[in-house]
Chain A
Amino acid sequence: MPELPEFETSRRGVLAVGAGGAVVASTPAIAAPSAVTRGAVPSSQVAFRVNGKAQALRLDPRTTLLDALREHLHLTGTKKGCDHGQCGACTVIVNGQRINSCLSLALQHEGDEITTIEGLGTPDNLHPMQAAFVKHDGFQCGYCTPGQICSAVGVLDEIRQGIPSHVQADISQAPQVTNMELRERMSGNICRCGAYSNIAEAMAEVAGAKA
């Protein structure tokens, strides 16, 4: 992959902040459109809302939604795992639906409403799914966890909407929150620590069902 000017800039920014021991990066200066217009790479504008906040970016068209979130908006809760839609670590919620942010160009999301793990809850005010993951030990190393939690929130919503799944015996009926349903619907999220059983228990608790 060619070295992109804005990529270098944002990397350096992150490293400098890390070396200085600061916790909060000065995101506005880096995310501002003017910072990424150098070089010959053609750039395009996109505007969307992330976690309720309007964002306008000028980006190389190649920028995925994942990279826009992480490298330009510095919302690094969303993780890059395989970068090919196979692991689910990059799962975010767009217009109410969970998607792989790595397989979507940022430019495809003009006007969209995006929710990342940072928008679901905060350390002081956890989303019920985050609290349930903590309670049930739904993780070990934690790298896949933001994607797991965004996906889990999406799954319960899909079951509420009656979206059918592969493991339903009768697709003319509404799906139920069973352990089999949760496992099938979460199959796009890989956990190399193998916390699957506890993730299913956390989800069942939030859904008010017995796993």
Chain B
Amino acid sequence: MKAFTYERAKDPVAAARAAARPGAKFLAGGTNLLDLMKIEIEAPTHLIDVQDLGFDKIEPTPDGGLRIGALVTNTAMAADQRVRRDYPLLTRATVAGASGQLRNKATTAGNLLQRTRCPYFYDPNMPCNKRKPGSGCGALGGYSRQLAVVGSSEACIATHPSDMAVAMRALDAVVETVNPQGRTRAIPIAEFHRLPGDTPHIETTLTAGELITAVTLPKPIGGTQIYEKVRDRASYAFAVVSVAAVIQSDGSGRVAVGGVAHKPWRVDAADAAMSRGAKAAAGELLAGAKPTQDNAFKIPLVERTLAGVMAQARAA
């Protein structure tokens, strides 16, 4: 691990100012950042520990939604009675991710910001445009079974690893931030994560030093909410594909998919096609997909997983 200095922030705007300096990074739970620092894929020179900033509460919003503080742990969010009752999709997705120990430390904002688990990103002996811009992509033409099938580029076929974020995407969550000048803004989650394009190292639309303070959920939309995660082990494994769906009694609904793209993947036309069945909706979701030989199986797998989810919803 490279040497760094450490401070515990007492004020969000001061923290944002400190983080805008070159080499500085926020530290929340640390479960992903420290992992990457140990292999020097992340090498910050200064860490700003934000645990004392008070963003650890879940509160109702005036319009009937829920505001989840950036530092609420994954365990606390998944266990909250309001989340379980009104946004069961979010609880389901969150407890499908990581292990109990990790969820006790991992935070809402940190989960959104976690880096890909692409093996070529993790291996410093391999080229990776995300780890080292311009070095090439080892995954293209390499072993790509786990990697992206849609929204990818010639520079990067990494996937976003989060389960929680897929549910957040289906629920139209909004990311609240404050910047070094003290200005706040609300970023719809659809616009929060970026596609790789030719700059896969830039993963979100956050600006320098911008600090996530909360994630808000709009008023509950009801419906049958199902998170179905397909993985290689029954527990503690990243998704091969995952489907987050909210299905209303008339068969209409919305769907977001994980494990297929650089961001939680949702397409308007797929939502519109939900009442026409899994084949129609999955076809819209994965229109323009460019799978590799290794991961072409994800295309039918998404459709079949969605068909299973729709059948569960009908039976509910």
Partners in one complex: yes
**Can you name 22 A-B pairs with beta carbons within 8 Å?**
A1-B1, A42-B3, A60-B3, A62-B1, A85-B101, A97-B104, A100-B102, A100-B105, A103-B102, A108-B49, A154-B100, A158-B75, A162-B79, A164-B84, A165-B95, A171-B88, A171-B91, A184-B234, A187-B100, A187-B235, A188-B99, A188-B100
Which residues of B does A touch, CB under 8 Å?
1, 3-6, 8, 27, 30-31, 34-35, 38, 47, 49, 51, 75, 78-79, 84-85, 88, 91-92, 95-96, 98-102, 104-105, 233-236
A84-B39 Cα distance, complex, nearest whole Å: 10
Q: Establish whether residues A184 and B235, one from each chain, have CB atoms under 8 Å apart when the complex forms.
A: yes
Cα–Cα distance between A99 and B88 once the two chains are bound (Å): 25
Contact of A164 among B27, B47, B95, B236 (CB under 8 A): B95
**Least distance between A33 CB and chain B CB atoms (Å):** 16
**Min distance, Cβ B232 to any Cβ of chain A, angstroms:** 13
- List A contacts of B233 (CB < 8 A): 187
Question: What sequence of 0s and 1s flags, for each residue 72-84 of chain A, a beta carbon within 8 Å of any chain B beta carbon?
Answer: 0000000000011
Contact between chains at B104 and A171 (CB < 8 Å):
no
> CA of A35 to CA of B52 in the docked complex: distance in angstroms?
30
Known: A1-B1, A171-B91, A187-B235. A104 touches B100 (CB 8 A): no
**What is the CB-to-nearest-CB distance from B303 to chain A, in angstroms, rounded to a whole number?**
23
A61 touches B4 (CB 8 A): yes
In the complex, whether A32 has a CB less than 8 A from a CB of chain B is: no
Among B1, B35, B92, B104, point to the contact of A99 (Cβ < 8 A).
Answer: B104
**Interface bracket on A:** 35 or more
User: Do A187 and B99 have beta carbons less than 8 Å apart?
Assistant: yes
A-to-B contact residues, CB < 8 Å: 1-2, 41-42, 44, 60-62, 64, 83-85, 88, 91, 97-100, 102-105, 107-108, 110, 151, 154-155, 158, 161-166, 171-172, 183-189
Given A85-B31, A88-B99, A184-B235, verify A104-B105 contact (CB < 8 Å): yes
CB pair A188–B101 under 8 Å, yes or no, is: yes
For the complex, give the distance between the alpha carbons of A164 and B95 in Å.
Answer: 7
- What CA separation (Å) do A41 and B2 show in the bound complex? 11
Q: B92 contacts A91, CB within 8 Å?
A: no
B101 touches A172 (CB 8 A): no
A42 to B, closest residue via Cβ: B5
Most buried by B among A60, A83, A161, A184: A184
Chain B: CB-nearest residue to A190? B236
B295 CB to closest chain A CB (Å) equals 23
User: B96 contacts which chain A residues (CB < 8 A)?
Assistant: 166
- In the assembled complex, the Cα of A74 lies from the Cα of B234 at a distance in Å of 36
Find out whether the CB atom of A107 lies under 8 angstroms from the CB atom of B49.
Answer: yes
Residue numbers in B under 8 Å from A108 (CB-CB) = 27, 30, 49, 51
Residues of the B chain whose Cβ atoms lie less than 8 Å from the Cβ of A154: 100-101, 104
Cβ–Cβ < 8 Å partners of B91 in chain A = 164, 171
Contact indicator A105/B31 (Cβ below 8 Å): no
Chain A min CB distance to B245 (Å): 16
Collect the chain A residues with CB atoms within 8 Å of residue B38's CB: 83-84
On chain A, the residues within 8 Å of B98 by CB distance are: 188
Q: Chain A residues near B235: list those with CB within 8 A.
A: 166, 183-184, 187
> Smallest CB–CB gap between B86 and chain A, Å?
11
Kindly list chain A residues whose C-beta atoms are within 8 Å of the C-beta of B84.
164, 171-172
Q: How far is the CA of A42 from the CA of B4 in the complex (A)?
A: 8
CA distance A85 to B3 in the complex (A): 21
A159 to B237: give the CA distance in the assembly, Å: 22
Asked whether B79 lies within 8 Å of A161 as measured between CB atoms, the reply is: yes
